[in-house]
Structure formats: C-alpha cells, structure tokens
C-alpha cells in the first residue's frame, strides 16, 4: 500500500443505534471500492468488521473495528462502532480518532436512543456529522417522515443532499442533489428521471440557499447569477460541513448496495482532511496547554485510542497520528508512561487482518503489536518535542456482579485474563470490595458482563460464576455518652491492666472517625494512648449491630488509670475495645446504606413509568431534562434497590433505555428494612466479638 499524504486521508466513525445497518454499510463500502471481493453480510457472519465469535453469534457489533478503502485516490479509514446500549461507549473512544461521524438512521424506526447518544459523543469532540438514512428498501421505510424526525431532534441545520428514487420494495436509487445526477444499483451516474426533476430542483435550491447564506462572497454570486455553480457549491458545502453549520443527509440500502458509491464520493468531497483542522491541543511536560500543527513535517505525536488483545498477535495498539511521520521500527517516547518504545512493524487494519506498511503520515491510523508499556489513552511523541493528549473519559460502570472462579485452576488464570480484557475494554472494571471481600466485575449492563464472561471462557479458558454483589452497608452511632473501658487480668505473676475514660459522640455523615487526646497530665502515659485508639478502631471495624464497619463518630480520651508493672500496650488496646462495646450499648447504633446518583436515559414516552418505578425503589428524583426524543431522569436511589434494575429498565423501555450510577453518600436505613438486614447478618454469623481479654 502506498503512503498517503495527510490531505488524501479521510477518517470516519460509523455510529448509530443497534441494527440500523452500520456494519452492512461498511461491508458495502468495502465491496464497492474493491477492498473486498464479495459483499459481506451480517446474517451469515461474513462481514469484515464483525469477526468476533460473539459478534457473529449475536449478529451485533460488540467492539469497534477498523477497515480502510480507497476511493477517487483518497484513503478512507472507517471505524465501525457498536450501537447496542451495553457497548455504545466504545463508539465514544472511536470518535476520538475521526474527523467526522456518519450517523446511520433506520428508515423504518427513525431516530433511536443510541443514535442520540452517539450524536452527543460527536458533539463532545466537536466533529462534523453526516447522516445516512439506511434500509430504504424495507417495508414501512419513510424518507420524508425520517427527515422530519431528524430535524425535530437535531435542528434545522439538517439538510438532505440526496432524495430516494422509490421506497420499500420499489427503492431503486438515489438522486444526488449536489452533482444533480441519479444513481442506481450499478453505481453509474445517469440523468434524473423526468418525473422527479421538479422535486430535485426544489430540493437543490434549498441547499444553495443554505450554502449561500454562509458566505458573503457566495451570496453575491447567488444574487448575481440566481444560483451557484458546482465549482462554488461543493467547496461551500464542504466548509459548512466542517464548521458544523449543516449536517447533510444521504440515502442508502446497504444490503441491496444502493446509494453506496455516491455516498463514498460525498465522503471524499465533504469530510475534512485531518490537516484542515490546523492544530490539535495537548499538554506539555508541566501540564500546561499547548498546540501542535497537524502536518507531516511537524514533530511526531500520536494518540493510542484502542487496544486489541489478539490471541495470535498479542496486544495490538491502534493509534491516530496527529502530527509528523513515523516509520516501521522507529523508537518513540510514550509521554504518558515516560518510557521509550520501539514500535516494530507498522500495520494497517482490515477487520481482523493486519497488513504491514513502511511509513505513515499525520492523520493516518495505524497499529503496532507487542509493545511492553503502552495501553489505551497513551500518547506517543518525539522525545525532543513532548506533548500528551487527554484520554477519553468513561462514566463509572453502572452494574456490578460478584465474580467467583469455578476452580483453583481458574482462580490462578483469572487475574491475567481479566488484565488483558481490561486493556481492550475501558468500560469494563474489576475490583475487590475491601469490606465484603468480593471480587466485582462491573460494566455498562448485564449483556456487557455476559459477553465478558463468555470471552473469559472461550478465549482464555477461565470459567467463573456470577451472582449479585453484597451491599457494603456501614453503621454509625447517634448520641453522646461518657464510657469507661477497663481491662484487668491477674493469672499469677505479671498481670494486665488498663483503664480508659472516653466520651463517644456521633458525627454528621461523611465526617469519618475522629480521635482526640484530651488527657492533661499522666493518668495514662503518652506511649499507651494510641493503643486506646487502635482498640476502638479494631472494635468499630467489627460493627455494632450487624457486623458492618462503624463510621462517623468521635472519641475523646479524657482520663484513665495505669499500673506501673501490669500496664502495657495490649492492655490499653483491650480497654479501647471494651469502651467501644460499652458505648454501642449506651448510644443508639444505626445502619447506613450507600445512596447512588443515578442518571437514566429513556424515550420520552417511558418517562412517567420510570418516575413511578424510581419512587417504588425508595428513590428521590432530583430533576428531569429533555434531549431530543429522550428524557434524562436524575435521581438518588439506595444501591440495594438497583441491583436488578437493568432487567426492569429493559422491560419498561423495550431495551431502549440506559443508565449510569455512582456513589454519592451513605444514609440511614429505614427501621423496618434495617431489622431485616440485621436479622440476616445474625443468620450469616457476621456479628462476632473477638475474645482477646
């Protein structure tokens, strides 16, 4: 493959709702450009970008995949992204490497929730958007209605640049309003049918009006000539697309291979080349913002936006070159890790296949294998001219399952296998809860976790069992009391003695534990006072009523007694423990539960049912916003009420809703519920006292 200059490169991310036809669209683009010898189909598992076993079996895209093709002497790097709710976050990471997003809309179902989410990601990165209304050959496909819905969702800047010839089973081609030609399944340009010329001319004039308004120079030409020539119109649309003043709409049927070639032409003509954005922002070694020119003669810099754990090639790091030129076997600086890496051979990616190349320039997307230090989110740069780019931020995973290896052999392999999977999937998280001692696998939804577990088994031979995680409750004390903790033991010879007088007091939520030494004089020698604190903390860790750690209380050590022979550090630790146990009898001990900040995105028509369901879960709704056809509900809900929420949300919304949540604070459990938790703790034997005195 030849080396492409920056101006010859187009980087596009294909995004949209699941089953809108993104992967089929990519397959048709690859076929029509000669990049593949046959038209791949999702139904028979023959597409280039859905090659994983789970993707083929489920017929959905699970992780972003790359492909490339050439059209009109330009290289188009294509990133096919997931549209299913559980995997949509991967689309966010992919768009970091694109100069434009192509948002695929189903001509039957219109704008759906994940398309809106993907649009939001593109908006976050401030990149242009093109819309493709796909599946025009399907029953009930409606171009006009879909365009109206798109405009209603994303505004008047949405402008169709094509109109369909026929619809449903009679859909046979598209009219390109820019070049004023008709294209049928063979992709060849022909004259517009006579019966559609009036409609085409009216639609074209609307485009000319929009483009002319954006430039004084074009406006003058428009008034002088009454129209704009192709020489003026195409650059005018290009500039408007780049500046996000218009979002053009195109029409296709990917499975029937209709409208693909004119779409490819529009991508080449309208999507900005990487260097058209002039500079990219990053940070220098002191963390201050700097800019780098997007040119192949600038110092080298690149951003690693994806990592693939390939069973044969090992770790594959995929990066977008922002500036400079890089050659195979180059040694570069990983600015994020402050380590040098020898890149080895450079590759371009076609689905699961790697093809070696000698060199790549600014704007291109390439891959390297088997690097030691590099992971997703890292920046490569020239050691003499360092810059680092911010990693993509992901929300806290919404759902967690306790994960348990099925055998000792699985236990040994689990950690290493998960480490590789976490490098590949940034929306996945693996932690150990220090309180419940459970290993937790967290992700965006139940399907996300199921796919991860399936991958553990098939790819790494590790079998695990999943079960709902235990809720990490806490306890606290309410009130104030003076307590004497006294430990005395005589068993012949040297005995044990320590006495500590303490004031215990409950504190507001979030205060933590506070120990104050208020002894003046020598009622307890200085060296033994920390032992009292240690004893109190040890006892508090065992709980007061249900075996959960006690937090948010204060202990003031005000007095005590000691014996010159029998007192020691251990004696005062025991005195501290006894003081706490006496305090929990005098003060009121209460149970605390984690309260989560929850954000739920659902279709507008489901918002009422969601509000009712949140109230039934002891939740407090704090606000509701609208984003196009979606309602965003914000609430605070106890974690114990959210453990099975995914299935309920799917049921209410027909699997069109999604949610995120993160810990906000701990709050008191209602007495009726607390009693059940305490009873269960007693049955499980959580409540115990260490007999050390």
pLDDT at residue number 484 = 96
C-alpha 14/C-alpha 8 separation (Å) is 19
Question: Given a cut of 80, is residue 397 above it in pLDDT?
Answer: no
The CATH number for 123's domain is: 3.40.50.300
- 158 and 289 co-located in one domain: no
Radius of gyration for the alpha carbons in the chain, expressed in angstroms and rounded? 32
Residues 6 or more apart whose CB falls under 8 angstroms from that of 21 comprise: 104, 106, 134, 135, 254, 255
Question: Given a cut of 70, is residue 362 above it in pLDDT?
Answer: yes
Domain span at residue 368 reads: 277-381
- 361 and 416 co-located in one domain: no
What is the DSSP secondary-structure string of 29-79? HHHHTTSSSS---TTTT--SS--SHHHHHHTS--S-EEEEEEETTEEEEEE
**Three-class SS state of 315:** strand
| Residue 576 within any structural domain of the chain | no
Question: Given a cut of 80, is residue 693 above it in pLDDT?
Answer: no
- pLDDT tens for residues 94-127? 999 999 999 999 999 999 878 988 999 999 999 9
The CATH number for 305's domain is: 2.40.30.10
| Residue 659 within any structural domain of the chain | yes
pLDDT at residue number 521 = 82
C-alpha 385/C-alpha 394 separation (Å) is 29
- pLDDT tens for residues 50-82? 998 888 888 899 999 999 999 999 999 999 999
| Residue 580 within any structural domain of the chain | no
C-alpha 50/C-alpha 52 separation (Å) is 6
Q: How confident is the model at residue 250 (pLDDT cuts 50, 70, 90)?
A: very high
Q: Which helix (H) or strand (E) holds 202?
A: helix 197-213
The strand order across the sheet containing 189-190 reads: 162-165, 173-176, 181-184, 189-190
Tokens linked to 139: 């029953």
* Cα dist from 205 to 191, 194, 210, whole Å: 18, 17, 9
| Residue 525 within any structural domain of the chain | no
Question: What does DSSP say about strands 100-106 and 65-71: parallel, antiparallel, or unpaired?
Answer: unpaired
- 35 and 73 co-located in one domain: yes
| Residue 564 within any structural domain of the chain | no
Question: What does DSSP say about strands 630-638 and 588-603: parallel, antiparallel, or unpaired?
Answer: antiparallel
Q: Which helix (H) or strand (E) holds 649?
A: helix 645-653
- 416 and 434 co-located in one domain: yes
Average pLDDT over residues 670-689: 82
Tokens linked to 551: 């937090």
- CA 475 remoteness from chain centre: 33
Question: Given a cut of 70, is residue 690 above it in pLDDT?
Answer: no
Kindly tell me the burial class for residue 360, based on how many C-beta atoms sit within 10 Å of its own C-beta (0-12, 13-18, 19 or more): buried
Q: Residue 53: count other Cβ atoms within 10 Å of its Cβ.
A: 13
The CATH number for 671's domain is: 3.30.70.240
Global pTM? 0.81
Residues 6 or more apart whose CB falls under 8 angstroms from that of 179 comprise: 189, 230, 262, 265
**Three-class SS state of 426:** coil
Q: Residue 285: count other Cβ atoms within 10 Å of its Cβ.
A: 11
pLDDT at residue number 210 = 83
Q: How confident is the model at residue 688 (pLDDT cuts 50, 70, 90)?
A: low
- pLDDT tens for residues 513-525? 999 999 988 899 9
- Report yes or no: 302 and 321 within 8 Å, Cβ to Cβ: yes
Name which of 218-227, 293-302, 429-438, 634-643 the model is least confident about.
Answer: 218-227
* Closest of 368, 281, 378 to residue 339, by C-alpha: 378
The CATH number for 446's domain is: 3.30.70.870
Measure the N-to-C terminal CA separation of the chain; round to a whole number of Å: 78
Question: Given a cut of 90, is residue 413 above it in pLDDT?
Answer: no
- 375 and 343 co-located in one domain: yes
Count: domains in the chain: 4
| Residue 472 within any structural domain of the chain | no
Interior angle at CA 229, CA 227 and CA 232, nearest 5: 110
- 313 and 447 co-located in one domain: no
- 339 and 290 co-located in one domain: yes
Tokens linked to 288: 């201050």
- pLDDT tens for residues 267-323? 999 999 999 999 999 999 888 999 999 999 999 999 999 999 887 778 899 999 999
DSSP state of 287: S
Residues 6 or more apart whose CB falls under 8 angstroms from that of 480 comprise: 503, 504, 505, 506, 587
Tokens linked to 370: 């088997």
Instruction: Pick the last residue of a domain from 330, 350, 381.
Output: 381
- 39 and 183 co-located in one domain: yes
- 155 and 282 co-located in one domain: no
Question: What does DSSP say about strands 325-327 and 359-361: parallel, antiparallel, or unpaired?
Answer: antiparallel
* Closest of 541, 539, 540, 518 to residue 529, by C-alpha: 518
Tokens linked to 475: 């306890």
Give all strands (DSSP E) within 150-269, no chain letters.
158-160, 162-165, 173-176, 181-184, 189-190, 247-251
| Residue 693 within any structural domain of the chain | no
Q: How confident is the model at residue 686 (pLDDT cuts 50, 70, 90)?
A: low
- pLDDT tens for residues 444-456? 877 888 899 999 9
Instruction: Pick the last residue of a domain from 467, 492, 509.
Output: 467
C-alpha 501/C-alpha 599 separation (Å) is 48
SS (H, E, C) 127-138: CCEEEEEECCCC
- pLDDT tens for residues 631-672? 889 999 999 999 888 889 989 988 778 888 888 899 999 999
Question: Given a cut of 70, is residue 550 above it in pLDDT?
Answer: yes
- 451 and 351 co-located in one domain: no
Q: How confident is the model at residue 215 (pLDDT cuts 50, 70, 90)?
A: confident
pLDDT at residue number 100 = 97
Instruction: Pick the last residue of a domain from 467, 499, 515.
Output: 467
- Report yes or no: 275 and 295 within 8 Å, Cβ to Cβ: yes
Give strand pairing partners of 302: 321, 380
Q: How confident is the model at residue 443 (pLDDT cuts 50, 70, 90)?
A: confident
- 33 and 57 co-located in one domain: yes
| Residue 209 within any structural domain of the chain | no
- pLDDT tens for residues 491-536? 777 889 999 999 999 999 989 999 999 998 889 999 999 999 999 9
Q: At what angle do helices 216-225 and 230-242 cross, to 10 degrees?
A: 150
- Report yes or no: 75 and 4 within 8 Å, Cβ to Cβ: yes
Q: What is the mean pLDDT of the chain?
A: 91
Q: How confident is the model at residue 85 (pLDDT cuts 50, 70, 90)?
A: confident
- pLDDT tens for residues 147-184? 999 998 999 899 999 999 999 999 999 999 999 999 99
* Closest of 550, 645, 555 to residue 599, by C-alpha: 645
- 442 and 347 co-located in one domain: no
C-alpha 226/C-alpha 426 separation (Å) is 53
pLDDT at residue number 687 = 65
**Sign of the Cα pseudo-torsion (579, 581, 586, 589, in order):** positive
Question: Given a cut of 60, is residue 592 above it in pLDDT?
Answer: yes
């Amino acid at each position: 493959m030849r080396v492409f200059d920056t101006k010859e490169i187009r980087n596009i991310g294909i995004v949209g709702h699941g089953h809108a036809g993104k992967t089929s669209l990519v397959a048709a683009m690859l076929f029509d450009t000669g990049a593949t010898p046959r038209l791949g189909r999702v139904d028979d598992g023959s597409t280039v970008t859905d090659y994983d076993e789970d993707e083929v079996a489920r017929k959905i895209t699970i992780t972003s995949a790359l492909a490339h093709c050439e059209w009109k002497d330009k290289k188009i790097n294509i990133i096919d992204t997931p549209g299913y709710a559980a995997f949509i976050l991967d689309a966010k990471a992919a768009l970091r490497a694109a100069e434009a997003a192509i948002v695929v809309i189903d001509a039957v179902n219109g704008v759906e929730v994940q398309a809106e989410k993907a649009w939001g990601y593109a908006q976050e990165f401030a990149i242009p958007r093109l819309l493709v209304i796909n599946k025009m050959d399907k029953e009930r496909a409606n171009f006009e209605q879909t365009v109206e819905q798109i405009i209603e969702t994303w505004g008047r800047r949405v402008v169709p640049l094509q109109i369909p010839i026929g619809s449903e089973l009679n859909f046979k081609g598209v009219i390109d309003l820019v070049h004023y030609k008709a294209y049928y399944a063979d992709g060849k340009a022909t004259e517009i049918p006579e019966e559609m010329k009036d409609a085409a001319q009216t639609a074209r004039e609307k485009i000319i009006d929009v483009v002319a308004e954006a430039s004084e120079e074009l406006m003058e030409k428009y008034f002088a000539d009454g129209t704009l020539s192709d020489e003026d119109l195409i650059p005018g649309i290009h500039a408007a697309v780049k500046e996000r003043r218009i979002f053009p709409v195109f029409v296709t049927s990917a499975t029937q291979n209709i409208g693909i070639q004119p779409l490819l032409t529009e991508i080449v003509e309208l999507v900005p080349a990487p260097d058209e954005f002039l500079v990219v922002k990053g940070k220098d070694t002191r963390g201050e913002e700097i800019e780098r020119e997007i040119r192949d003669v600038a110092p080298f810099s690149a951003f690693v936006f994806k990592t693939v754990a390939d069973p044969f090639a090992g770790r594959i790091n995929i990066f977008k070159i922002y500036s400079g030129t890089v050659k195979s076997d180059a040694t570069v600086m990983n600015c994020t890790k402050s380590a040098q890496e020898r890149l080895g051979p450079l590759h371009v990616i076609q689905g699961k296949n790697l093809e070696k190349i000698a060199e790549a320039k600014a704007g291109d997307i390439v891959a390297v294998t088997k690097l030691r230090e590099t992971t997703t989110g890292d920046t490569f740069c020239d050691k003499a001219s360092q810059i680092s780019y911010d990693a993509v931020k992901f929300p806290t995973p919404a759902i967690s399952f306790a994960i348990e290896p099925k055998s000792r052999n699985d236990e040994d392999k689990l950690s290493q296998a998960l480490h590789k999977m976490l490098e590949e999937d940034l929306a996945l998280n693996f932690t150990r809860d220090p309180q419940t001692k459970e290993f937790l696998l967290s992700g965006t939804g139940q399907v996300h976790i199921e796919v991860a577990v399936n991958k553990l088994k098939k790819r790494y031979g590790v079998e695990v069992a999943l079960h709902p995680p235990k809720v990490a409750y806490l306890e606290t004390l309410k009130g104030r009391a003076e307590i004497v903790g006294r430990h005395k033991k005589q068993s012949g010879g040297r005995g044990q003695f320590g006495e500590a007088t303490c004031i215990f007091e409950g504190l507001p939520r979030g205060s933590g534990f506070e120990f104050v030494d208020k002894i003046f004089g020598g009622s307890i020698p200085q060296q033994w006072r920390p032992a009292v604190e240690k004893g109190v903390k040890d006892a508090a860790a065992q709980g007061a009523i249900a075996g959960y750690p006690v937090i948010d209380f204060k202990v003031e050590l005000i007095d005590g007694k000691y014996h010159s022979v029998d007192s020691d550090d251990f004696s005062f630790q025991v005195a501290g423990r006894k003081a706490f146990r006496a305090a929990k009898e005098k003060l009121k001990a209460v149970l605390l539960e984690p309260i989560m900040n929850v954000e739920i995105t659902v279709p507008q028509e489901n918002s009422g049912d969601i509000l009712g369901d949140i109230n039934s879960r002891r939740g407090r709704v704090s606000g509701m916003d609208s984003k196009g056809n979606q309602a965003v509900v914000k609430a605070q809900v106890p974690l114990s009420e959210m453990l099975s929420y995914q299935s309920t949300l799917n049921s209410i919304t027909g699997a069109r809703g999604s949610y995120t949540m993160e810990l906000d604070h701990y709050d008191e459990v209602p007495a009726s519920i607390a009693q059940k938790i305490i009873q269960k703790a007693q049955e499980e034997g959580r409540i115990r006292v260490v007999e050390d005195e």
